[in-house]
Structure 1
Amino acid sequence: MNEKKSFDQLLAGEPLVLVDFSAEWCGPCKMMAPILKEVKASMGDKIKILKVDIDKNQQAAAVYQVRSVPTLLLYKNGKMVWRQSGVVAAAHLKQVINAQIN
């Protein structure tokens, strides 16, 4: 039986997790999508990327105090190590992630 993991279990169960809080109606969020794909393609299994729609997951948005979208949170072993709102360039995102790997 494949149970859905809770958000907290996903954060704690992976070495590096990037959470993308976004919304369907958000223009900058749409700009982040190809950037996240590029980051995932180059980083592979080193990172797990979770996309959270704030309209469908209002409670999660409230708990993590997401005030604007996109908001990116990077977790290392279940602890938040980086947070930024707005569009983030792929090169900068890879730099932030690599700093946590090394």
Structure 2
Amino acid sequence: MSKFGELIETKLPVLLAFFADWDEACKEMHPTLRDAAAALGDKAKVVKIDVEKNQELAEALRIKGLPTLMIYKNGEMKWRQSGEQDANTLIGLVKEYI
């Protein structure tokens, strides 16, 4: 959990994508996240978190649906939604916090 604190305690917006390898919607989101990361460059971070490998964190954040996407800035959650999103929507949401 301490690494999670370090991850989100940044002035840059951080887009977190909670996923599982067995989930089809999550698999479909991988290229979208890659595109969003490329478009945002060094203005934001895009981080994928496997809920299977980070069960304690997923439970603490009450991750129920996959994928679950969150935006943090300065350690504070700014936005959260479960379900697929397109790259342009994600880029626009993150840019609101740059």
Q: Considering the TM-score relative to the shorter chain, is it more than 0.5?
A: yes
Unaligned runs of 5+ in 2: none
Contact 2:19 2:48 in 1 (8 A): yes
Please tell me whether Structure 1 or Structure 2 has the larger radius of gyration of its CA atoms. 1
1:14 Cα deviation after fit? 4.6
* Counterpart in the other structure of 1:96: 93
Amino acid at match of 1:55: E
Amino acid at match of 2:79: W
* Counterpart in the other structure of 1:57: 54
1:39 aligned to 31, 36, 40, which one? 36
Contact 1:73 1:84 in 2 (8 A): yes
1:10 aligned to 7, 10, 18, which one? 7
* Cα distance in 2 for residues equivalent to 1:58 and 1:14: 26
The Cα RMSD (Å) is 1.1
Amino acid at match of 1:31: E
Residues paired across the two proteins, number: 97
Once the two structures are superposed, what CA deviation does each residue of 1:45-101 show, in whole Å capped at 9, x if it has no partner? 111111111111110100111001100010011110000101001111111111112
Contact 1:15 1:78 in 2 (8 A): no
Contact 2:16 2:71 in 1 (8 A): yes
Unaligned runs of 5+ in 1: none
Question: What TM-score results when the alignment is normalised by the length of structure 1?
Answer: 0.90
Q: Using the aligned pairs only, state the percent identity.
A: 40
Over 3 Å counting, the alpha-carbon distance change for 1:98 and 1:34 in structure 2 is same
